[in-house]
A and B are shown apart, each in its own frame.
Chain A
């Protein structure tokens, strides 16, 4: 019997028995709730996963229920939403006031990525993909065509979609003392299919020679079959002067598919299977303790938190790869250890995090608030170091265990300059030390100043400015033996998250109480990052956002809302193209030639959002109506320039451009005391354009490289849909 049906039946039984219990003893019970049942029809948008992204919009019945029962000192709340659909939700909450409470829930989350995708593989949704095709000694046609069924309409159809079932319970006990205990358990099951892709590694060309391939692509459906099981215990002690707790969490993640095994279509002389790795199983636990001391001198509070967590797994390296070098699967231990130079047949993953935090708040003077804080985090990677021989270069490659630590402290001071003006200043320091061969460490120093004023009864104004300086310790200055050595470029390349920069942030806001029932809000945000030592990589980014909203609310009469938002974002970056043949150099200061030159990119996004809404009773206690409309528009572009205009780069004018409309209209009519009729209409549309998807082809053929094979992932983002629903609601 399906889990969904079991939950539905269980919920119904609890619901009915609760009502029966109430009916049997109505004088000592107090019950209220509602039942909503109706129907919905959706026209349009069936082909678009974007419309259905997080919803089950099937035509047919829809229903929600709610029940609240109080009986003496006991209570019970039950909620059921979208019953019977793929996005249904159930929850039972109950307990005894002041003694204990519990909550049990079941929640389904659907995530539709794209519909009607297609592939020539069979075994979709499993960990092994195959197809039938006879081997041949060589490609006989002029294009680099693998031996697969090339007629797309013969391919199998499927959806990229996941369904997540999250169920759990919480039990809270308040003892007749300051002590408490909380137990939580949950299970998350996620099943579905997601798109991944791999290069083939090899292909067999027209002469029958197997060649290392660097240019072809197979997009393939990978299975999702994840289980996450969690259990946590928290015991604590709480009084007005002290709150302390200890928390223990265990979590287990399981995925029966360590790999996706797929037949390589580019090897035509025999059936060769590749492997692409999927998320591995892991066990996680965390132990943490927290204590808060309150009511200290000078109105102070002191809080200390410490934690230790660990993630572990164990994998056999001998199962991790199949070899397509000789066209046959080779998984013998001697091949891995002698040919590949693999140093360990088993990988043991072992990562731990140690954290500690301390914060002290105080009010030494009536008008002065202070906060001092310190945070520490250390990641220790004690996993097995894996080493193998790179068959292309003959050199050794190892897995570079990544460790880092963070030390962060700061001070905030808030001072009331007057009864209408409050000022705040702060300083923060963050140092990150990394075991990484480029960005060894970064240090951030950040200051901010903020002022808030409400001199006028109708206006509150806020202004904040923050400045951050980041310095980094890059260790790449001596890499590369010369300007034709590929490692030489690393002297100039900076990762934007770990390089020197200055950041400026400005925020300005006004809250205007324009009239008795009218509030207006205005907000402006400006943020810029200047990566001032970066030669290659992101050099600058900037964001501006303007926001205005208004709310007019006359209680029980009318509510009007509206907003407008405009945002621009810009990313500047500088790069170098090198084709290591003929004359070329990895030095960005060298003269540009056809095989090596610098180029610049400016990525710019503009976003508009507008919305309005109205809620009003048309006839008091009889008919209410509500309507809302939102429009969002995004416009992106990417402009390029190159030295001496080599390559004559062509700007991208359509880059994640979309227009999204949402209109909702609803009417609630109370035709008798406890019963309502709810009717509603929604119009939703999305028009999406992007040069990465426009003109989509499942088989991309070019004369100079092997075909690429795609499945249609994410190509169906446009929709135009009308949704109508009619519900009856019984309230008691």
Chain B
């Protein structure tokens, strides 16, 4: 009895003194060379990518290689391999966006680009890192081609007759948006729309003596920055968009119908060619007070 008690006590002490190996031991990892033996193409693409460069500090190449991201491989190998065998993360549709992103955030969480990831619409809508980034193949598509996989309406807009040079590669989605998250609506890079537009269109900053209030408040009241069938990225044709806010004696309350075009019976320079902006050229703002010959010809109404 005493011997049995002593043996039990010895076992208990041993159990307490010698730590359980809940931590992953080296035997749980298969090693990158083992992965390569079956997944040569994936290994080659990984080794050529930035993740595979040993000179980059804290890289998977300096850690557990493939298993840094995909998880422990030993059990997968022991069971003879195969799809879904072992405790793997294969970044498929079966894993949640949060699970997949957590792998990347393990290393990249301190990146300043990802500071606001938790606040962004992409995380909220279950977009994960692999939705846009291909770790093995790198950049195989142009940036906008990745974005329009989900933003289908924008894909149509950037191909309309009036647009920014996105298709030519001169403007990228990330020139205006931060896909990793911001505090702004639409995940734009700045606090509001106008500050964003002024980055490239500083000529619209003013300050102007005469301001056009909707211009000052939000450029996107009149313009669709992704693209439009109407010139100058206007959401609606001129004079229609102007007449939606303005009515007065004579024009702009006049009907500018089919008679008022060049080929019509009563051509009007308030309709043909550039319509209202034929005369109201300084529509974003003016610094001229008045044409003394006519009080109507003034900066206040943006004709000077």
Contact status of A686 and B221, CB under 8 A, knowing A98-B56, A321-B290, A379-B216: no
Inter-chain contact B202/A691, CB cutoff 8 Å: no
Inter-chain contact A713/B274, CB cutoff 8 Å: yes
Inter-chain contact A214/B296, CB cutoff 8 Å: yes
Inter-chain contact B247/A275, CB cutoff 8 Å: no
Interface code A273-295, partner B: CB below 8 Å = 1, 0 otherwise? 01111011010101000101010
| Chain A residues within 8 Å of chain B by Cβ, number | 185
Contacts of A212 in B (CB 8 A): 293-294, 296
Interface code B229-273, partner A: CB below 8 Å = 1, 0 otherwise? 111000011001001111111100111011101111011010111
Q: Which residues of chain A from 673 to 706 have a CB within 8 Å of any chain B CB?
A: 686, 688, 691-697, 700, 702
| Closest B residue to A182 using CB positions | B112
Inter-chain contact A311/B205, CB cutoff 8 Å: yes
Contacts of B143 in A (CB 8 A): none
Contacts of B160 in A (CB 8 A): 607, 632, 634
Say which residue of A236, A321, A697 sits within 8 Å of B289 (CB atoms). A321
Inter-chain contact A197/B278, CB cutoff 8 Å: yes
> B40: CB under 8 A from chain A?
no
Interface code A63-97, partner B: CB below 8 Å = 1, 0 otherwise? 00000001011000000010000010100000001
Q: Which of B13-21, B71-79, B114-122 participates in binding chain A?
A: B114-122
Inter-chain contact B183/A305, CB cutoff 8 Å: yes
Q: Which residues of chain A from 188 to 239 have a CB within 8 Å of any chain B CB?
A: 188, 195-199, 201-202, 210, 212-217, 219, 222, 226, 228, 236, 238-239
Q: Which residues of chain A from 518 to 564 have a CB within 8 Å of any chain B CB?
A: 521, 523, 525, 536-538, 545, 547, 549, 563
| Closest A residue to B250 using CB positions | A579
Residues of B within 8 A of A (CB): 53, 55-58, 93, 109-112, 115-116, 118-119, 124, 126, 152-153, 155-156, 159-161, 165, 167-170, 183-184, 191-192, 195, 198, 200, 202-211, 213-214, 216-218, 221, 229-231, 236-237, 240, 243-250, 253-255, 257-259, 261-264, 266-267, 269, 271-275, 277-279, 281-282, 286-300, 303-304
Inter-chain contact A693/B272, CB cutoff 8 Å: yes
Q: Which of A1-9, A128-136, A380-388, A721-729 participates in binding chain B?
A: A380-388
CB distance from B303 to the nearest CB of A (A): 6
Inter-chain contact B207/A350, CB cutoff 8 Å: yes
Contact status of A351 and B294, CB under 8 A, knowing A98-B58, A217-B269, A357-B183: no
CB distance from B59 to the nearest CB of A (A): 8
> A717: CB under 8 A from chain B?
yes
> A332: CB under 8 A from chain B?
no
Contacts of A292 in B (CB 8 A): 115-116
Q: How far is the CA of A311 from the CA of B264 in the complex (A)?
A: 46
Inter-chain contact A279/B203, CB cutoff 8 Å: yes
| Closest B residue to A317 using CB positions | B289
CB distance from A322 to the nearest CB of B (A): 9
Contact status of A301 and B203, CB under 8 A, knowing A607-B229, A632-B160: no
CB distance from A272 to the nearest CB of B (A): 9
| Closest B residue to A494 using CB positions | B245
Inter-chain contact A349/B262, CB cutoff 8 Å: no
Inter-chain contact B262/A696, CB cutoff 8 Å: yes
CB distance from B260 to the nearest CB of A (A): 9
Say which residue of B192, B240, B290 sits within 8 Å of A573 (CB atoms). B240
Contacts of B296 in A (CB 8 A): 212, 214, 392
Inter-chain contact A240/B170, CB cutoff 8 Å: no
Contact status of A549 and B152, CB under 8 A, knowing A55-B168, A243-B115, A656-B237: yes
Inter-chain contact B205/A688, CB cutoff 8 Å: no
CB distance from B38 to the nearest CB of A (A): 17
Contacts of A379 in B (CB 8 A): 216
Q: How far is the CA of A506 from the CA of B253 in the complex (A)?
A: 34
Inter-chain contact B274/A497, CB cutoff 8 Å: no
Contacts of A359 in B (CB 8 A): 119, 183
Inter-chain contact A109/B289, CB cutoff 8 Å: no
Contacts of B291 in A (CB 8 A): 201, 274, 321, 323-324
Q: How far is the CA of A323 from the CA of B191 in the complex (A)?
A: 42
Q: In the complex, which of the residues A199, A212, A243, A496 has the most CB atoms of chain B within 10 Å of its own CB atom?
A: A199
Inter-chain contact B279/A577, CB cutoff 8 Å: no
| Closest A residue to B276 using CB positions | A197
SS class, residues of chain A in contact with chain B? strand
Inter-chain contact A653/B258, CB cutoff 8 Å: yes
Q: How far is the CA of A640 from the CA of B260 in the complex (A)?
A: 13
CB distance from A325 to the nearest CB of B (A): 4
Q: How far is the CA of A577 from the CA of B270 in the complex (A)?
A: 15
> A475: CB under 8 A from chain B?
no
Inter-chain contact B261/A320, CB cutoff 8 Å: no
> A660: CB under 8 A from chain B?
yes
Contacts of B207 in A (CB 8 A): 280, 282, 311-313, 349-351, 381, 383
Say which residue of A202, A276, A286, A361 sits within 8 Å of B294 (CB atoms). A202
Contacts of A342 in B (CB 8 A): 289
Contacts of B205 in A (CB 8 A): 253, 282, 284, 311
Interface code A602-615, partner B: CB below 8 Å = 1, 0 otherwise? 01010101000000
Apart from A243-B115, A258-B287, A414-B124, 13 more pairs, CB < 8 Å? A97-B56, A198-B297, A214-B296, A238-B115, A240-B110, A245-B112, A381-B207, A391-B293, A402-B213, A493-B246, A632-B159, A714-B274, A715-B273
Q: Which residues of chain A from 406 to 453 have a CB within 8 Å of any chain B CB?
A: 412, 414, 422, 424, 432, 434, 436, 452
Contacts of A323 in B (CB 8 A): 291-293
Contact status of A197 and B152, CB under 8 A, knowing A258-B287, A695-B262: no
CB distance from B212 to the nearest CB of A (A): 9
> A255: CB under 8 A from chain B?
yes
CB distance from A687 to the nearest CB of B (A): 11
Q: How far is the CA of A284 from the CA of B202 in the complex (A)?
A: 9
Contacts of B254 in A (CB 8 A): 577
Say which residue of A240, A391, A650 sits within 8 Å of B292 (CB atoms). A391
Inter-chain contact A692/B271, CB cutoff 8 Å: yes
| Closest B residue to A347 using CB positions | B209
